[in-house]
A and B are shown apart, each in its own frame.
Chain A
Amino acid sequence: MIGEEQYELIERYHQGELTEDERQNLEQRIGQDPEMQKLSRQIKALIDVSRVNRLDEAMNTLKSIEKQTKEKTKGPQPAKPRQLKWLIPLAAAIAAFALIYNFLLARPQLDPLYAEHIELLPSRSEKAVTDDILDEAYSLYSFQKYRKAARLFNQAVEAGKSKENLIYAASAYMELRQFNKANTILESLESESTIYTEVSRLQALAILQLQGREAAKTYLDRRYQNRQIHPDLQDLFDDLSK
């Protein structure tokens, strides 16, 4: 006859709460007693089912919170106006605009490898930069105001600042998914030795987005023709070679 104690013991066994001695004793009993064996399988299945059910429940709770959040943001619906005919051409114009926008201007679909390997340059806010324009550019970059940041990096370099700063402009354009602009800047930085690896990674990824994996791999091959590829780029290179 199986009593409360056995139930509890088996439950604690499957929850990993028994001491080594208790566990060994119980396993021996389970091995010898078919009834205990059956109970053990049943309790294990109940623990698994409880987990699946509770996760489903959590998901439903979150969906209902999301629904409430959206309803709250929407607020009360305005009263329906009597005459709506003038809305039809307006709605058609908005739909046409949305279509054109999506077709021409929407952010391009990313290659999975791009998302996996992109590492935007870190913000340099903690680094002292004594130049006004560069200060402003780095600050905008760290606040993810990429468009303005890229413009200011370009201006700073035109005004005679180190060309290496342009890699941040390229990184900003990458984030804006403007891969052509990023690529053009990176081409101008190809020979900068101090930022060779960063330029290689960003440009390989820009080429990946613009021309595909084969072209990105060829680019890295060309960059590292006579040398060992940099260890930081090895994963990317391997993924491109698959």
Chain B
Amino acid sequence: MLDRIRSGDDEIFRKIYGEYRQSFIGWIYQKYGSQEDDAIEIFQQAIVIMYDNVVTGKLTELTSSLKTYLFAIGRNLALEKIRKDGKKASLPDIIKQHIEDDGIVKDEMFEKAQKALEKLGEPCKGMIEQSFYNRLSSDELAILFGYKNADTAKSKKHKCLKKLRDILNNDDSTPNDD
């Protein structure tokens, strides 16, 4: 289960969503008096944070059920939301806080890398993201992106990285238009 979550497979999100949506939303409503829209948002945030915890290795094995883990995240999010003015601590703020806690700073290099990745386009962008974030192996990349074998996927990824670096270096030498 955790392996499938780590790979970022849409189907596993669908399964978790369908399985726990009703009970999670009912529980948040009962326990914290949240409105349905807020409870849905908290549920989605909890899944995203659980996903991130699996991928980044904070959650490597479940000592309780997945449901208990998800509800524990939900409890913290609900309290956080109540703490911040009762309702409107928005999702971006909470996810932003979650990743900033891990030392991600959106500095100039981050902005440049973001632009360069956009400029690179698909399938390179997806390949780099799946490889860097979900840590998919060359075998997994080959299956996901339809390459003949792991070697071809590995070589393609390297070409994408070189291209990306060219964009970044080029950007460094281009005078700012502003």
Contacts and interface: CB of A to CB of B under 8 A. Distances in A.
Interface of A: 4, 7, 11, 15, 39, 41-42, 44-55, 57-59, 61-63, 65-66, 69, 107-110, 112, 115-116, 144, 175, 177
A115 B82 contact: yes
Interface stretch (B60-68, B108-116, B140-148): B108-116
A226 B95 CA distance: 46
A61 B13 contact: yes
A42 B168 CA distance: 8
Contacts of B18: 69
Given A46-B164, A58-B47, A58-B51, 13 more contacts: A41-B109, A42-B113, A46-B128, A47-B132, A51-B56, A51-B133, A54-B133, A55-B95, A58-B8, A59-B48, A62-B17, A63-B44, A66-B44
A14 B30 CA distance: 43
A66 B44 CA distance: 9
Interface in B18-57: 18, 21, 30-33, 40, 44, 47-48, 51-52, 55-56
B117 A109 contact: no
B125 to A, nearest CB: 8
Contacts of A65: 13-14, 17
Contact of B95 (A39, A49, A59): A59
Given A55-B48, A59-B48, A59-B91, A50 B78 contact: no
B106 to A, nearest CB: 8
Given A50-B133, A55-B95, A69 B17 contact: yes
